[in-house]
Structure 1
Amino acid sequence: MEHEFWHNRWANNEIGFHEGSVNQFLHDHWSTMVDGNSNDTVLVPLCGKSHDMWWLNDLGHPVIGVELSEVACKDFFAEAQEKASVHPGEPFIKFRHDTLELWCGDFFQLVPEDLKNVRLVYDRAALIALPPAMRRDYVEHLTAVIPDGSHILLLTLDYQNEDVQGPPFNVSDEEVRALYGEDYDVELLLKQDMPADSPFAKRKGLHRATEGVFRLSKL
């Protein structure tokens, strides 16, 4: 998927993937990632304008969100009625509000030095936003730039319907293990059916889909 695809989605407000509240799986399972007093930095790849970043920051975590669309970055702060300082640069324009930063640019331009303080990653909508051909590159780059010992909370969606076009795309448990198993300890925390009345299921006409929550620990 080319950059233009995502720029067009944001420009046209075609953002059905955006959640208007804190993700319930994040709320329920974040405690498995940290002790109660942790203030480790959290990376949120392909973050959009997710409210989850404010929630994580309110817990005391410095947050680095990486997002391609400048529209999403500006909307994130505007909708929260918060001001951010803007720091132009290459390869990222950085929007900063206290200990919460959005880096506007290409995720694949990140280098290990950028994320040397990161110990936690929250992936709600990065892996499932990518078509199969791009997922291996995404996982390999993420693995290359985050420090050893980092932990990832990964949310997945699995459905079998060839008529449904992502994003979000279906990602099976088997694919998660194939993508991450060599470099991570992979633990499935939760697997459950998606409610039939969920906005995604109704919008896509899905009769059956499952949601997964994984805890990944980089070896």
Structure 2
Amino acid sequence: MEKSFWLQKWQKNEIGFHNPEAHPLLVEHFPLLELPPGARLFLPLCGKTLDIHWLLAQGYRVAGAELSEMAVQQLFEELALTPEVTEEGALKHYRSEGLDIFVGDIFQLRHETLGPVDAIYDRAALVALPQPMRQQYAVHLQELTGTTPQLLISFDYDQSQLPGPPFCVDDEEVQRLYGAGYVLQLVDAVDVAGGLKGKVAALEKVWHLQPGTGEGNG
């Protein structure tokens, strides 16, 4: 997916993918991560999701990566926070107490820049990327975070009926992308109300990924 695609979406305010509240599946299944208060989560391709508001309100720290600087500026405005903005190589770093967002290409972000994280929450990143990029992304994400535990939300539907994004990432592909580094458990599968974009029946699936070797599934 071209960077310009997402930047134009934000520029034109075509952000139907932006949920107006914290994702119910995050709220329901977050306890699976068993994180202590103050733990730090990484949200790849985070936009200005209200999931960040919810996580901060629960007493967690959040790090994110986002291509659109406009989205990040709006996030801080909506949180009523004034960020400190610095340059980190090819990226910009928006920072305030408990919140770090790196603006730019996630593939330019490095482990030493991100710093340690205790878990990953991927609701909108993997499904936003076309198939050729997903393998590269999965490898990079594990290098970036040291294969830390992950809560992943995917979509499963007939891709021939809808071009995406969000793209279909079925169970087999999740296993292929992450099975070598994680033990995978499928913990929930929920029908998308009214169909995806109102056009095609789809399941939203919640995966709990725990560091380990060999392929596992739930």
Task: Provide TM-score, normalisation by structure 2.
Answer: 0.91
Q: Return the alpha-carbon distance in structure 1 between the equivalents of residues 63 and 93 of structure 2.
A: 10
SS in 1 for 2:189: strand
Is there any run of 5+ residues in structure 1 with no aligned partner, and where? none
2:113 counterpart residue number: 114
Question: Which residue type is aligned with residue 21 of structure 2?
Answer: S
Cα shift readout 1:101-143 (whole Å, capped 9, x = no counterpart)? 1110111012222344212000000000011111000001111
CA contact (8 A) 2:159 2:168 kept: no
Count of aligned pairs: 212
Cα shift readout 1:48-70 (whole Å, capped 9, x = no counterpart)? 11111121122222111100110
CA contact (8 A) 1:119 1:147 kept: no
Deviation, structure 1 residue 161: 4.5
2:216 counterpart residue number: none
SS in 2 for 1:39: coil
The percentage of counterpart residues that share the same residue type is 37
2:127 counterpart residue number: 128
Bigger drift between 85-94 and 49-58 goes to 85-94
1:183 matched to 2:181: yes
CA contact (8 A) 1:66 1:102 kept: yes
Q: Return the alpha-carbon distance in structure 2 between the equivalents of residues 193 and 99 of structure 1.
A: 34
The equivalent position to 2:204 in structure 1, one of 211, 214, 218, is 211
SS in 2 for 1:143: helix
Is there any run of 5+ residues in structure 2 with no aligned partner, and where? 213-218
- Superposed, 1:1-219 pairs within 5 Å as 1-35=1-35, 37-148=36-147, 150-196=148-194, 200-202=196-198, 205-206=199-200, 208-219=201-212
Deviation, structure 1 residue 192: 2.3
Q: Return the alpha-carbon distance in structure 2 between the equivalents of residues 178 and 77 of structure 1.
A: 36
